[in-house]
Structure 1
Amino acid sequence: MKIAAAAYPLDALPDFSAYAAKITRWVEAAASDAAQLLVFPEYGAMELAALGGPAVAQDIEAALHEVARHADAVRALHCTLAARHSLHILGASGPAFTGTARPVNRATFYGPGGVIGHQDKQIMTRFEREEWHIAPGPGLSVFDTPLGRIGILICYDSEFPLLARAMVAAGAEILLVPSCTDSMAGYSRVRVGAMARALEGQCVTVQAPTVGDALWCPAVDHNIGAAAIYGPPDIGWPDTGILAQSALNTPGWTCADVSLDLIGQTRQQGGVLNVTHWSEQEIRLSTPVRTIKTG
């Protein structure tokens, strides 16, 4: 199959029809390149804050509510596009108010038949928990699709190996990593995390970032990243583990062909067998770590 990862710029759009036209152009471009799985970034939905006007977009709390207000229309748009082009699409994540006091950061997964499900971010960054007060979601899911078993690690979640390990243990072959980072260091952390998860899980990871400045919305004002698709650096894969990667901060799709058969072969007959040997860590850690003083 072909996977497409978006390096996605946030625009101050005048109305929902302009947003719908933009998403439609992006989906059509990927579909024309024969992509079957499209991945949009974390907090890409925040561009909808502009629909409330400049004062709303500038207010980080009001922006959350404005974006969430359009959830039904966003869902209908993505369902239409996924059905029209027979695609699977991970929509850009955004705030979802679920009856609790604070919103979660939710990415919705669409297939040709409609909404497949969603994944909420599990671990909040300092900005999300200390200033934005975004709540963590209730747990992890693995989606069993015609394209393979797919899990979602939203940005910071990719930096925590046990989350990915739980998904791999549940059968995940592809891990989608939508991201939104405002510094080179932040982008690098997610990139390293995504690559490490591909190594440990002997799977494919897909990083899709926001890119460029959006100074009209302080919550997502600076965006740095490159879209990429990673695999384990093993037999049959690129030596670097990088299947495809865009130039830094360059909007557009980055695509790569991915073989589920190769993922299975790597887990069974790779040069190393990280998935098989994972449990040996528990054996090695059954003896407490010693502290040895020197000098």
Structure 2
Amino acid sequence: MYKVAVVQAASVPFDADAATGRAEQLIAEVADNGAELAVFPEAFIGGYPKGTSFGTATGIRTERGRAEYERYVRGAVTLEGEQVRRLVHASAEHSVHLVMGIIELLGSTLYCTALMISPTDGLVGKHRKLMPTASERLVWGFGDGSTLDTMDTPGGRVGTVICWENYMPLLRQAMYAKGVQIYCAPTADDRPTWQSTMQHIAMEGRTFVLSSCQVITRDAFPDDHPIEFELPGGDTLMRGGSVIIDPAGTVLAGPVFDEETILYAELDPGAKIRSHLDFDAVGHYARPDVFSLTVNEAPAESVRFAG
């Protein structure tokens, strides 16, 4: 059996050092409870600016919105930065594999990224969100096929698909083909309908599914941070709904709403093997003579210097 943890906690928006400190405390807690893998929410370090327009409308940008964007960028992290080094150290110190949602700064563009960190090998993988949803596209760049990484753990191969990317059937198929056994879904979607998506993926991919969402309220943000829209939850910007599901679609832990918590479950790797008796989406239940998928894993670089 392999014990895993899904962390449902609030970020510290726009403050990468403070958010990393919070993550370090939570990593120590899951280790004390015997977990060997911890999954954190989307944008846990850097923050998810829910309800914020950054002063934009069609054909309009404002100076206040640009200033808000500057604050958001200054709260992001780089892969070579101190915050990632601290996460690598915490993973090694506590012998916990990590899937950590960050806002990554690469050049002059932000990406919604999930890091995969090994206690023995450090930062072994990353996934930059391929398709930011709706107005996320204003502040986040598009990932490419070069970051469809996985991470091997004692409990099985880990892969990560972020939030509404999980509604992209071809991306799911690619992850199944990579042999993902523990399918991690950091998210900002706190609606009850998210649960049916997670159960469907568990059954479709015959994978364990670990989904993590923040519980965060208005007062976690700076007092002058603009939220221009009335949100369904009022002062609760995200209400959780984290969950752990087995390859048969059975819920092992959660969902939990409206409170911070850490979900734990013991995963039996044999459950995935047994589930493939009657279904394998990329094997004996596939029809490659009718349907096929080609995945471009080359980096999509805008500038290449030759010579």
Normalising by structure 1, report the TM-score.
0.78
- Among 234, 249, 260, the residue aligned to 2:269: 260
Deviation per residue, 1:272-295 (Å, 9 max, x gap)? 42434542497499xxxxxxxxxx
| Residue pairs, 1:22-61, within 5 angstroms | 22-47=22-47, 59-61=67-69
For 1:231, the equivalent position in structure 2 comes to 246
Equivalent residues of 2:77, 2:102 under 8 A apart: no
Structure with more helix by fraction: 1
Structure 1: state its 5+ residue gaps.
Answer: 50-55, 234-239, 286-295
Change (3 A) 1:146 1:83: same
Count of aligned pairs between the two proteins:
263
For 2:209, the equivalent position in structure 1 comes to 205
Deviation per residue, 1:54-81 (Å, 9 max, x gap)? xx99954213321225651211111111
For 1:109, the equivalent position in structure 2 comes to 116
Which amino acid is the alignment partner of residue 2 of structure 1?
A: K
For 1:81, the equivalent position in structure 2 comes to 90
Change (3 A) 1:12 1:274: closer
- Among 131, 137, 143, the residue aligned to 2:151: 143
Task: Give the whole-Å Cα distance in 2 for the aligned partners of 1:60 and 1:137.
Answer: 27
For 1:175, the equivalent position in structure 2 comes to 183
Task: Give the whole-Å Cα distance in 1 for the aligned partners of 2:116 and 2:226.
Answer: 27
> 1:264, CA displacement in angstroms?
1.2
Give the 3-state SS of the residue equivalent to 1:103 in structure 2: strand
> 1:243, CA displacement in angstroms?
1.0
Which amino acid is the alignment partner of residue 7 of structure 2?
A: A
Equivalent residues of 2:6, 2:211 under 8 A apart: yes
Deviation per residue, 1:2-56 (Å, 9 max, x gap)? 110111212369783x44442222111111110000001101112499xxxxxx9
Equivalent residues of 2:11, 2:19 under 8 A apart: no
For 1:94, the equivalent position in structure 2 comes to 103
Task: Give the whole-Å Cα distance in 2 for the aligned partners of 1:116 and 1:210.
Answer: 24
For 1:290, the equivalent position in structure 2 comes to none
- Among 71, 74, 80, the residue aligned to 1:66: 74
Change (3 A) 1:160 1:190: farther
Give the 3-state SS of the residue equivalent to 1:244 in structure 2: strand
Residue range with higher mean Cα deviation, 65-74 or 191-200: 65-74
| Residue pairs, 1:9-24, within 5 angstroms | 9-11=10-12, 16=17, 18-24=18-24
Give the 3-state SS of the residue equivalent to 2:135 in structure 1: helix
Residue identity over aligned pairs, in percent, reads 21
Aligned CA-pair RMSD: 3.1
Give the 3-state SS of the residue equivalent to 1:135 in structure 2: coil
Which amino acid is the alignment partner of residue 126 of structure 2?
A: H
Structure 2: state its 5+ residue gaps.
Answer: 50-63, 293-307
Equivalent residues of 2:215, 2:238 under 8 A apart: yes
Change (3 A) 1:259 1:68: same
Give the 3-state SS of the residue equivalent to 1:62 in structure 2: helix
Equivalent residues of 1:161, 1:197 under 8 A apart: no
Equivalent residues of 2:112, 2:129 under 8 A apart: yes
Change (3 A) 1:244 1:62: same
Task: Give the whole-Å Cα distance in 2 for the aligned partners of 1:22 and 1:208.
Answer: 16
Structure with more strand by fraction: 2
Question: Is residue 126 of structure 1 aligned with residue 134 of structure 2?
Answer: yes
Runs of 4+ in 1 over 6 A off after TM superposition: none
